Amino acid sequence: MAAFTPLNFSLIIVLLVIASNAFSIKEASIDDLQLAFKQNKLTSRKLVKFYIKEVDRLNPVLKGVLEVNPDALLQANQADYERRIKAPGSSVGLHGIPILLKDLIATKDKMNNTAGSFALLGSVVPRDAGVVMKLRKAGAIIFGKASMTEWAAFRSLTLPNGFSPRGGQGKKPYNLSADPCGSSSGSAISVAANMVAVSLGTETDGSILCPSNANSVVGIKPTVGLTSRAGVITISPRQDTIGPLCRTVSDAVHVLDAIVGVDSNDNETKAASKYIPCGGYKQYLKPNGVKGKRLGIVRNPFLSFVSEPESQAFENHLQTLRQEGAVLLDNLEIANISTILNFAASGEATALLAEFKISLNAYLKELNAALSNLAELTRNGFQKLMKDNKLDALVTPGSFVSPVLAIGGFPGINVPSGYDNMGVPFGISFGGLKGTEPKLIHIAFGFEQATKIRKPPTFKSKEINNILETNKL
């Protein structure tokens, strides 16, 4: 047994001090994080780096995060600096807190806004969404974009919840094979798995509430108009709203306080601003909030939709509410509930289908400034080159010319032109002005016949052969 000395006693004391000062980020609330900042146990940079590490570790399986903001660490550095100099507002609320946004809430930065679809990949938005402007003003760190059900589950009635072409299939952290629900699936998954502190989602019908329910997080679906939809890809101006998905009610309220308010780009926010209480929502985070409240209990038909354990838990929670002083009005009925719950019979499906086209066109119209810029680039670039030199086609190696052709809507053809020393093929591109396909085809065919480069694969790779053999079995 080692001898006890003043030296190792001092070491023990040091280790105990280090342990007492250690701070666990997992499951930490916003208040916990702010206290850790204040006590110099944590910085926003360390916090962001922790979440990036967790995304790298967990996201390949969970697929809750679509992309991490390349400027997240820069924003964290700025937050830490503001805290050091004691800038106004730098020690409260969302300042220095990373937040993940559903991939239909626009950010005027290096990230995409695509609703999970490749159709909008690379599109340039004119400005931050209204809620993002407010988040930045509050000092929040825009950590990244959350995966989601493509086009907010409006692309197809049979599209799996949590699936998008860009993000793949999102997985519920508690049970990987269970439905994560949607369409704000990634926002819920990421918060539940501690890949980010807090998140934002949107809802037309169930897209905040359902994934919150499915992933054991808190979701707030605000009154329509309370939070701005400007810069958000929406389905319905009547129904769409933006709200937080967080691990606690307190965290969700912190986020809600930051994002509510009037936005000149969303007329509904002016009318709804009358609902915002003086002093914000945090004042209502009181432990005795149930006492004296009259709560209506509607059992039919909702209890018939749940499992026996969930039904029993519901009964237990009703008893708890009674014990906390609530007045329960049990067995109430909602008139025409069966019709209301029927997406087609209620008329909701018809209305949303009509409104989605209007809403999407309105969002796309906001991209006009970017489109004007692309038109100018095309006019002064490719078109000028072709016309000044009276060219029939532009010839380039590989397919790297594709953006040049794409932004102007010009045709192009790529033809095999060789192989590298590993047998990997490459081609040549012929591009021209609009309507010049006859010339391009003529040129491409002539090139092909003159060179006859292409050859079939030989499947020399052992890996490919193994796959082929496996497929034969």
Query: Which residues participate in catalysis according to the annotation?
Result: 102, 183, 207
Quick one: which H or E segment has residue 414? Answer: strand 412-419
429 with 396: CB under 8 angstroms?
yes
Rounded Cα distance, 351 and 45, in Å? 46
CA 391 from centre of chain: 45
DSSP secondary structure, 348-364, as one string: HHHHHHHHHHHHHHHHH
DSSP summary character for residue 223? P
Q: Which helix (H) or strand (E) holds 169?
A: strand 168-169
N-to-C CA span, the chain: 63
327-329 and 294-296 as β-strands: parallel, antiparallel, unpaired? parallel
Which structure tokens are listed for 148? 């989601």
- Helix (H) / strand (E) element for 142: namely strand 141-146
For residue 211, give the nearest of 251, 259, 243 by alpha carbon. 243
CB distance 68 to 114 below 8 Å: no
Q: Map tokens 């990244």 to a residue.
A: 144
